[in-house]
A and B are shown apart, each in its own frame.
Chain A
Amino acid sequence: MTSAPGAPSDAPLRTSVPPWRNVRVRRVAAQGVFVLAVLVAALWLWNNLTSAMARTNLTFSLNFLRTTAGFEIAESPIPFRAVDSYGQAFIAGLANTIVVSIVGIVLATILGVLVGIARLSRNWLVSRLSAGFVEVMRNTPLLVQLVLLYAVLRQLPPVAGSISLPGSIYLNQRGLFIPSPEAEATLGPWLGLVVGAVALAFVLRRIAVRREDAGLDPRRLGLVGLAGLIVIPLAGWIVLGAPISFDPPVLERFNFRGGTSFSPEFTALLAGLVIYTAAFIGEVVRGGIQAVRRGQVEAAQALGLTERQTLRLVVFPQALRVIVPPLTSQYLNLAKNSSLAIAIGFPDLFAVSRTMANQTGQPVSVIVLVMATYLTISLATSLLMNLYNRRVQVLER
């Protein structure tokens, strides 16, 4: 083949190699074969599923969601009765999953950061205790931990013999009973004061940053702002009278009246998820801090930065970049692990769905729905964390 004048000189190269020896052709062909294989497998599975469903007279449909559920759900932030629909039951289960996941993620993060920092402590006892906690918690199955925790909670004394803790907190085999906060008339004005104090602290912080730019020591202003945050709400509390009163649980003949209670199922699930995940988060935090090279701390010290400044300005910004991606995985794990609730009878999304699948005879539809829901929760979590991650991944180039 003759090439036109000025044509790229690699043209003859491409034609002179037989296709089975051409790297580029082979690369494209491999991709094509792979896509084809995936399609064939998916088609086969789909056929298998539909034919099996047809044999058992099942159809893929979500119509059952509107029909009456006919079963009770022990607890949910969203009121649910047996006469409500399957759809509402699903929502009630979902609400349980979301509440336990969000509260769990917040508590596991706090505990995990403490565990991670404790493990790096120069105090021998503190670091050993933290290491022991991590090794026991992450080396035993969560399911076993949950069952154990639940069993312990069930072994607590009956209502009449409740363990009484300071502050009108009671613990018995029916769960944890705490005083419930009730709004008073002064709550509005008091919240106004709190907002004002926060705003003041923000303004002071802005001024402090500007003062630092102008070469003045910003620490005193920071202290004033912090003091305002504590003193103003406290003064308001005293002057206005308590904005919140607590309705303590009161023991009656058979059970407590008033107060807020957490069932043993919820308490065990939340505690189990928090403790288990905190062990992993602790390791993530420790790894992140240790990933900051020793020389960074030495350089900061040699410049005369204090220990706190070294941590805040040099170590944490670098550690956070290492911590956030695996932290996201731990959040996803916690949310997905909440489906173990079924083992201790907490009515989460998965547990409710199991009942729905049994009663409606629509297991495939229900499972698809549940998977799609967990997927949505996980993707939403990932999205949020990726946005945060982009913020902490400060550019390096």
Chain B
Amino acid sequence: MGDQEPAPGTAMAGDEIIVCRDVHKWFGQHHVLRGIDLTVRTGEVVVIFGPSGSGKSTFIRTINRLEEHQRGQIIVDGIELSDDLRNIAAIRSEIGMVFQSFNLFPHLTALQNVTLAPIKVRHWARDRAEHEAMELLTRVGIPEQAHKYPAQLSGGQQQRVALARALAMQPKIMLFDEPTSALDPEMISEVLDVMRELAQSGMTMLCVTHEMGFARAVCSRMAFFDQGQIVELGPPWQIFDAPKHERTKRFLSQILH
């Protein structure tokens, strides 16, 4: 471990890269995840939506072990998530995550936020890490903000730095936990644009979001969560135009006016 990079390209397009079987989780007495089965293929974009408290955030947080699942199986790129520290570290370095509240490191500049993990975890040369970081900041449209601190940036800019920070580790999978919920309306589209571009580049993505326009345009499948279960899973046209479950219909009618 350490010096060795995980074998690249082990997953081909269309391979099963995330496999969840009967995943359960409890917070004390509260049964938050009640048997989640979901298989995601390389290059897929899956949007997860549902009422608050339905377990959507908890579910995607189990995939990089920010939350432990207590029953069932989660296999990411052929590695099963267990209590093995080595497995957890290997999986985390392949998964990028973007949080609702950005969680940029306030004591580091935008550029330092992006280069920290490549230098410390991947042991890249600083020159290389900074070069790649500048490319990513250009890709998300804010190269001129590289030397500013998070507090000097708008919410939309911070979230785009957070995206660049996650991408800097060259992840195979990206998790989005309500990435636009904390943003002012006029900043939502600048983040969604970057996400759309990322999806088109073939990134495997799991997004918890209620941006239904984004979902319809970008995602391959949608999963409707309610009370810790996936109630309905299908392509966007089916979910939007012919939902099978009453609960899905009711929820969609509440958020789409």
Contact = CB atoms under 8 A, between A and B. Distances in A.
A217 B107 contact: no
Interface string A281-324: 00000000000010110111111111001000110011001000
Contact of A302 (B66, B119, B128): B66
B151 A217 contact: no
Interface in A210-237: 212-217, 219
A6 to B, nearest CB: 39
Identify the interface centre among A216, A219, A302, A318: most chain B CB within 10 Å of its CB.
A302
Contacts of A395: 149
Contacts of A214: 125-126
Q: Secondary structure at chain A's binding surface: helix, strand, loop or mixed?
A: helix
A303 B165 contact: yes
Contacts of B169: 303-304
Given A212-B126, A302-B96, A295 B66 contact: no
Q: Secondary structure at chain B's binding surface: helix, strand, loop or mixed?
A: mixed
A298 B117 contact: no
Interface residues of B, number: 37
A397 interface: yes
A304 B99 CA distance: 15
B177 to A, nearest CB: 10
B46 interface: no
B246 to A, nearest CB: 36
A310 B32 CA distance: 28
B2 interface: yes
A303 B121 contact: yes
Contacts, number: 85
B125 A305 contact: no
B105 interface: yes
Contacts of B119: 212-213, 215
A33 interface: no
Contacts of B151: 396-397
Contact of B116 (A303, A318, A397): A303
Contact of B95 (A213, A293, A302, A314): A302
A321 B2 CA distance: 31
B141 interface: no
Contact of B120 (A299, A305, A317, A321): A305
B251 interface: no
B92 interface: yes
A394 interface: yes
A252 B127 CA distance: 70
Given A305-B117, A309-B120, A318 B101 contact: no
A187 B124 CA distance: 45
B101 A295 contact: yes
Contacts of A318: 106-107
B103 A295 contact: yes
A303 B99 contact: no
B66 A313 contact: no
A215 B124 contact: yes
Identify the interface centre among B106, B124, B128: most chain A CB within 10 Å of its CB.
B106
Contacts of A217: 2-3, 123
B252 interface: no
Nearest to A298: B66
Contacts of B128: 215
Contacts of B106: 318, 396
A313 B120 contact: yes
Given A212-B126, A214-B126, A217-B3, A302 B149 contact: no
A72 B4 CA distance: 71
Interface in B61-118: 64, 66, 89, 92-93, 95-97, 99, 101, 103-107, 116-117
Interface of B: 2-3, 64, 66, 89, 92-93, 95-97, 99, 101, 103-107, 116-117, 119-121, 123-129, 149-152, 162, 165-166, 169
Interface of A: 212-217, 219, 293, 295-296, 298-306, 309, 313-314, 317-318, 321, 394-397
Given A213-B119, A317-B107, 9 more contacts: A212-B126, A213-B125, A213-B127, A214-B126, A299-B99, A299-B103, A302-B96, A303-B166, A309-B121
